[in-house]
């Protein structure tokens, strides 16, 4: 007697060919405009793969497809225990198919595993493809990941069993909600990652008490109110990144780095960069140095009536601050007693995936379009950073918001992440060409800034350098190279987690860990091999280090500013509230 016909067999048999089709489509996709990264980049030239290795790869792929097919048939037979003899596991950390609905139906179980098998085949094909250099290979890997993430069955209604179950259970209400969410996001111009109505800057974000005591076209300077009777004589001046809003360092009281620094007995000044509009689109790198840290450091010294201050920079804010200190050093000014750099690049030899698409062609395009004036918009920047973690920051919300009709929960960090900022075109073009492309800041005297040749080796202030182990924006090994560039004594500390979570790690919660090693003579991996792991946050270690550079104590200043730097408005100020 013949076996009963499986009604799903034709669909499954067709899907066995999907892997080959996906590969063909991907390599066709490379030549399309859609393949261009937000930052551009020259086309990738791909040679012909080795025929023998290609044939072996294809045979292995078809064999695995056959094994998967047979395993699914065996699993579906009457009396089977439900355990397949062949299973395609997801990549570590891939949560897209963790819901039980993907395994309860043999159809969707096959769709899930077939996709994972096809994705693995394409990744192996990318490794086989001959390209001109390592950078081109990494670009190819990046684009393959973008393509595969977009093609996942979890992103489409017809192939997502969670969508189908919710639609049936809600009698179509989830579909209606998903459409409504999509319409709202189209009007908003971006994917919603959190409940925007739950937060407001100045109401429950950026609430540390303070006063704007100075402003210019590019920044406002905030002086925070003291929380201790005695403070360090030398104030702390913080320069956050201009690519994002400063309140990542002042989210809410329980995770505010700014508040913590004030609680440790510091008079804290902070640069709040302007979210520039078209009328500020002519400003360049030198303007950001002069009107940013150089203006802030001078104001803090005058207000506190001291010869020296301590300074801290985060991400590109650290790059800007270090450049400003190079300018001061060339001018014979040693008014900064200590320097703290958080996840900062000074050597740009390895910039992670951001640097993959910055080449001569992309820089020339930026020079020609916005290099003399204009904006690199916050939307472009947000798209770039989201693409680095597309499954977490794009497709997760496509499936949740639009297919399932869900509304993302309130999360302060994701609200900040979506609060994007613009950059002046000349600033962005100079930054990408001279630092990311040419890596000139590490070369003594190569760059002229504010009328002087800059040599970071002349910055003699002792430095506390923090990198984070899983940082995908500032690779920690590259951040470690700053120990070779700065002229003063350096302390390098490696935090756990990534670019943001590794920095915003409140001491009170005692989470994660960090690695310390006073000896920075070895290379990065050698340093880590002999480093000591310490439980908890690096914040406490930094606070103890900073106390060594306090310059003594004095009574806390209760009145912000002085006769020259008068109160403008309460913190957080209006600049941080401006939307892109």
145 plus 231 within the same structural domain: no
Helix or strand (DSSP H, E) at 532: strand 532-535
Tell me the average pLDDT across 153-164. Answer: 95
314 plus 399 within the same structural domain: yes
pLDDT at 17: 65
- Distance, CA of 401 to CA of 494 (rounded, Å): 36
Please state the separation of Cα 274 from the chain's center in Å: 20
132 plus 246 within the same structural domain: no
Look at residue 141 and tell me whether its pLDDT is greater than 50: yes
Tell me the average pLDDT across 244-251. Answer: 97
Q: Does residue 393 lie in a domain region? A: yes
217 plus 132 within the same structural domain: no
Q: Does residue 40 lie in a domain region? A: yes
Query: Of 169, 192, 218, which closes a domain?
Result: 169
3-state secondary structure 5-30: CCCCHHHHHHHCCHHHHHHHHHHHHC
Q: Sign (positive/negative) of CA torsion 180, 186, 191, 196?
A: negative
3-state secondary structure 285-329: HHHHHHHHHHHHHHHHHHHHCCCCEEEEEECHHHHHHHHHHHHHH
Q: Does residue 305 lie in a domain region? A: yes
Place of tokens 């506390």: 464
| Whole-Å CA distances, 511 to 331, 464, 501, 505, 508 | 43, 21, 11, 7, 8
Q: What does the chain come to in residues?
A: 580
Quick one: CA torsion of 485, 552, 209, 275, rounded to 10 degrees? -20
pLDDT at 2: 46
Q: Does residue 179 lie in a domain region? A: no
The pair phi, psi for residue 231, each rounded to 5°, is -135, 160
268 plus 414 within the same structural domain: yes
- Distance, CA of 152 to CA of 138 (rounded, Å): 21
Question: What residues pair up with 232 in beta bridges, in sequence order?
Answer: 553
Tell me the average pLDDT across 197-226. Answer: 97
Query: Of 169, 201, 224, which closes a domain?
Result: 169
Query: Of 169, 202, 235, which closes a domain?
Result: 169
Query: CA 78, 84, 85: angle at the middle one, nearest 5?
Result: 120
Q: Does residue 191 lie in a domain region? A: no
pLDDT at 36: 55
229-246 burial code (b ≥16 CB/10 A, e <16): eebbbbbbbbbbbbbbbb
pLDDT at 1: 41
252 plus 376 within the same structural domain: yes
How many Cβ atoms sit within 10 Å of the Cβ of residue 549? Answer: 20
Q: Does residue 442 lie in a domain region? A: yes
Q: How many CA atoms lie within 13 A of 292 on its CB side?
A: 32
Per-residue pLDDT of 16-62, as tens digits, reads 566 667 777 777 666 555 555 555 667 788 888 889 998 999 899 98
How many Cβ atoms sit within 10 Å of the Cβ of residue 4? Answer: 7
CATH assignment at residue 331? 3.40.50.1820
How many Cβ atoms sit within 10 Å of the Cβ of residue 525? Answer: 9
- Distance, CA of 445 to CA of 460 (rounded, Å): 16
403 plus 295 within the same structural domain: yes
Tell me the average pLDDT across 119-130. Answer: 92
Tell me the average pLDDT across 459-477. Answer: 97
Tell me the average pLDDT across 335-350. Answer: 98
Q: What is the DSSP letter of 398?
A: I
pLDDT at 33: 55
Domain that holds residue 230: 210-577
475 plus 570 within the same structural domain: yes
Q: Does residue 4 lie in a domain region? A: no
Per-residue pLDDT of 68-117, as tens digits, reads 888 888 776 665 565 667 889 999 889 999 999 999 888 899 999 999 99
DSSP helix/strand/coil, 424? strand
Which two structure tokens, joined as six digits, stand for 230?
Answer: 């005695």
Q: Does residue 199 lie in a domain region? A: no
134 plus 36 within the same structural domain: yes
127 plus 224 within the same structural domain: no
> What confidence category does residue 13 fall into, taking pLDDT thresholds of 50, 70 and 90?
low
Arithmetic mean of pLDDT over the chain = 91
The model's pTM:
0.91
Round to the nearest angstrom and report the end-to-end CA distance of the chain. Answer: 70
Per-residue pLDDT of 360-419, as tens digits, reads 999 999 999 999 999 999 988 888 888 888 898 899 999 999 999 999 999 999 999 999
> Are 30 and 46 in contact, with CB atoms under 8 Å apart?
yes
- 45 CB-near residues (< 8 Å, 6+ apart): 131, 132, 136
Place of tokens 């310390």: 516
164 plus 215 within the same structural domain: no
pLDDT at 182: 92
- Distance, CA of 49 to CA of 232 (rounded, Å): 64
The number of folded domains in the chain is 2
- 76 CB-near residues (< 8 Å, 6+ apart): 6, 106
Percent of the chain at pLDDT > 90 equals: 77
The verdict on whether 554 is a catalytic residue reads no
> What confidence category does residue 281 fall into, taking pLDDT thresholds of 50, 70 and 90?
very high
Which two structure tokens, joined as six digits, stand for 17?
Answer: 């060919």
Name the residue among 205, 250, 246, 210 with its Cα closest to residue 226. 210
486 plus 400 within the same structural domain: yes
């Amino acid at each position: 007697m013949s076996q009963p016909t499986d009604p799903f067999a034709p669909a499954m048999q067709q899907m066995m060919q999907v892997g080959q089709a996906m590969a063909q489509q991907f390599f066709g996709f490379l030549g399309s405009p859609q393949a261009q990264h937000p930052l551009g980049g020259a086309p990738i030239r791909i040679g012909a793969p080795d025929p023998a290795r290609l044939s072996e790869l294809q045979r292995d792929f078809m064999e695995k497809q056959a094994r998967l097919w047979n395993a699914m048939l065996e699993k579906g037979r009457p009396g089977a225990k439900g355990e397949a003899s062949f299973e395609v596991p997801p990549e570590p950390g891939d949560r897209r198919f963790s819901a039980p609905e993907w395994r309860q139906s043999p159809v969707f179980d096959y769709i899930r595993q077939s996709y994972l098998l096809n994705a693995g085949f394409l990744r192996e094909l990318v490794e086989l493809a001959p390209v001109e250099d390592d950078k081109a290979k990494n670009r190819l890997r990046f684009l393959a990941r973008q393509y595969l993430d977009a093609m996942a069955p979890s992103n489409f209604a017809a192939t997502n069993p969670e969508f189908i179950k919710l639609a049936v259970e809600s009698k179509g209400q989830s579909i209606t909600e998903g459409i409504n969410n999509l319409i709202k996001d189209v009007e908003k111009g971006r994917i919603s990652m959190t409940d925007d109505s739950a937060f407001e800057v100045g109401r429950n974000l950026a609430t540390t008490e303070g006063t704007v005591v100075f402003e210019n076209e590019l920044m406002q300077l905030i002086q925070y109110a003291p929380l201790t009777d005695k403070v360090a004589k030398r104030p702390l001046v913080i320069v956050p990144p201009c690519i994002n809003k400063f309140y990542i360092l002042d989210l809410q009281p329980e995770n505010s780095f700014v508040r913590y620094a004030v609680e440790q007995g510091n008079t804290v000044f902070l640069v709040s960069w302007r979210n520039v509009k078209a009328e500020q689109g002519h400003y360049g790198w030198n303007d950001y140095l002069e009107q940013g840290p150089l203006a802030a450091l001078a104001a803090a010294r005058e207000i506190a009536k001291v010869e020296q201050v301590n300074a801290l920079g985060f991400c590109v804010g650290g790059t800007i601050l270090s450049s400003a200190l190079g300018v001061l050093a060339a001018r014979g000014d040693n008014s900064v007693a200590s320097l703290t750099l958080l996840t900062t690049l000074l050597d740009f030899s390895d910039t992670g995936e951001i640097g993959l698409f910055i080449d001569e062609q992309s820089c020339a395009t930026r020079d020609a379009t916005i290099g003399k004036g204009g904006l690199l918009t916050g939307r472009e920047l947000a798209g770039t950073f989201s693409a680095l973690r597309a499954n977490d920051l794009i497709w997760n919300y496509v499936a949740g918001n639009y297919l399932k009709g869900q509304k993302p929960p309130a999360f302060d960090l994701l609200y900040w992440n979506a609060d994007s900022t613009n950059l002046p075109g000349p600033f962005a073009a100079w930054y990408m060409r001279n630092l990311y492309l040419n890596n000139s800041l590490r070369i003594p005297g190569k760059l002229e800034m504010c009328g002087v040749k800059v040599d970071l080796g002349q910055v003699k202030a002792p430095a506390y350098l923090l990198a984070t182990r899983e940082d995908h924006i500032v690779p920690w090994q590259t951040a470690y190279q700053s120990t070779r560039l700065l002229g003063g004594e350096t302390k390098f500390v490696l935090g756990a987690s990534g670019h943001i979570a590794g920095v915003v790690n409140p001491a009170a919660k005692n989470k994660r860990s960090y690695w310390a090693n006073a000896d920075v003579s070895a290379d990065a991996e050698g340093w880590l091999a002999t480093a000591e792991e310490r439980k908890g946050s690096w914040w406490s270690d930094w606070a103890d280090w900073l106390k060594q550079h306090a310059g003594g104590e004095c009574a806390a200043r209760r009145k912000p500013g002085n006769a020259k730097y008068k109160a403008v408005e309460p913190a957080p100020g209006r600049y941080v509230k401006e939307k892109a």
